[in-house]
Structure 1
Amino acid sequence: MAIQHFPLKLVSRRMLAPTVGHYTFVRDDGQPLDYIPGQFIQVHFQYADGTATKRSYSLATIHDHALGPGEAVEIAVSYVPGGAATALFEGLDIGGTVDASGPFGRFCLMPADSNKRYLLIGTGTGVTPYRAMLPQLETLMRQRGVEVVLLFGARTPVELLYGDEFRAFADKHPNFRFVPCFSRELPENAHPDVRRGYVQQHLAEFAPDLAHDIAYLCGNPNMVDACFETLKECGLPVPQIRREKYVSSK
């Protein structure tokens, strides 16, 4: 899959949380972006002094790749006070363009996997790759009965990115379990799968098993490191633990 440079034109945006926006683009050169769910793109821009810089964003696009590469390019952008990338995205009007490159990364579901269960663990915008994976997971659940547990950490209910989508997907698919973990505030009338605390505190509840599981870790580096150690203690070998750390940049 060739890495390309291309212009992205903003089609729509909406707020996912008080400090996270969901941005939908299309390639302004008329070409599709052929990618594998779990990959990311980079957006290139300049600081006020003219220095070139870039930021990485996992693709959140839900697309059925059996139908070919999709048109939409969707990302979730965290707003950082005083951040250069935040200023870029907040100041971008509908129809405006940014310069991007990609796709990059190997944080993807592997065709050769023969596991019985995926443990998907994320915090914040680290959940965006899992949103993009939903069509693939749906196929795997149908074709070989794979089970999926998504443990997603947020501080409060309003910061649970794509929470309604994941809950609707879980309601529709018995093999998919959505377990939101809230560190500061629980929602009213919480679903039975809601937990209080951090994702790493609840990982052992799902009894990670080296014979059946492959785990994905994405988001806050402290969470990734803590869950990585827990999974190793549970006996999962390192090749069955796939990681991507999100480091916040201004």
Structure 2
Amino acid sequence: MAEQFPLRLVSSYMLADAVRHLVFERADGQAFAFAPGQFIQVHFHYADGKPTKRSYSVATVGAGDATPVSRIEIAVSYVEGGAATALLGGLQEGETITASGPYGRFCLFDNDANRRYLLVGTGTGITPYRAMLPQLRQVIAARGCEVNLIFGARNEQELLYDADFTAFEREVPGFRYYACLSRVPRAQPRAQDRQGHVQALIRELAPDPAGDIAYLCGNPNMVDEAFTLLKEAGLPVPHIRREKYISSK
């Protein structure tokens, strides 16, 4: 069993109407080392005392490698009647929870030699890509590859970390940020916005079996449909890396 450790809430803010960004530090004074793309598990109990846990990708923007960080940031979607929502939705600054990790291999690989990354996310599935930004800066500079970040949301208010991705696009040539809005367009549309779902934009970007590696994170239906689309375009299965986000009560 992985080591468990206490996390103390330092600060928080609402990213959207039903998504809260939380910033923790380890209450035991230890630093936290993770690879961008990994997640932690939050451990707690149901009202009947039965133990359970929920997984959350680390959103912390660190140094771009496994250098320990002092803060652990996550994004939490509120689920009506959800046990984790009751715990994390009402958590106050200074209060503690129990966590473990990091876990997962939804990370950039050191031996990747591709010409382009297609990073696709919906909802809080965009979170691991925020943590990857410093690493992506290094990869673009070192290998000259292109990165297309594709974010699917219903409206502008649900584009989590939009300012972070927009600023990064201005700073880093080779990084392009696309927003696919399925219901309501931005009040001030941008050139790389699209109306509709991420699958249509994936087709527009013409996946290249010889040069692309794709990451898919978020809604299970999106992940499955995009995986099929990319596989039909000829991408090798090892070059389509997936992580599904399933809402649990």
TM range (shorter): over 0.9
Deviation at 1:233, TM superposition (A): 1.1
Match of 2:165 in 1: 166
Aligned residue type for 2:148: V
Contact 2:25 2:72 in 1 (8 A): yes
Q: CA offset at residue 92 of structure 1?
A: 1.0
The answer for the alignment partner of 2:59 in structure 1 is 60
1:111 paired to 2:126:
no
Aligned to 2:79: 80
CA distance in 2, matches of 1:66, 1:216: 18
Q: Secondary structure at the match of 1:138?
A: helix
Does the CA-based 8 Å contact 2:152-2:181 persist in structure 1? yes
> Is 1:51 the counterpart of 2:13 in the alignment?
no
Question: What corresponds to 1:7 in structure 2?
Answer: 6
Q: Deviations over 1:142-197 (max 9, x none)?
A: 11111100010000100010011101111111200000000000012211000000
- After TM superposition, list the pairs within 5 Å mapping 1:190-229 onto structure 2: 190-229=189-228
CA distance in 2: counterparts of 1:222 and 1:127, whole angstroms: 15
Distance 1:70 1:160 in 2: 26
Per the normalisation by structure 1, the TM-score is: 0.97
Distance 1:66 1:35, change over 3 A: closer
Q: Give, in angstroms, the shift of residue 3 of structure 1.
A: 4.1
1:235 aligns to what?
234
Q: CA RMSD in A?
A: 1.2
> Unaligned 5+ residue runs, structure 1?
none
Give the residue type in structure 1 aligned to 2:115: K
Q: Given that residues 9 and 22 in structure 2 are in contact (C-alpha distance below 8 angstroms), is that contact kept between their aligned partners in structure 1? A: yes
Where do 5+ consecutive residues of structure 2 fail to align?
Answer: none
TM-score (norm 2): 0.98
Q: CA deviation at 1:66?
A: 5.5
- After TM superposition, give the deviation of residue 68 of structure 1 in Å: 2.5
Q: Indicate if the aligned counterparts of 1:24 and 1:72 stay in contact, CA closer than 8 A.
A: yes
Letter in 2 for 1:92: L
Give the structure 1 partner of residue 130 of structure 2: 131
CA contact (8 A) 1:4 1:103 kept: no
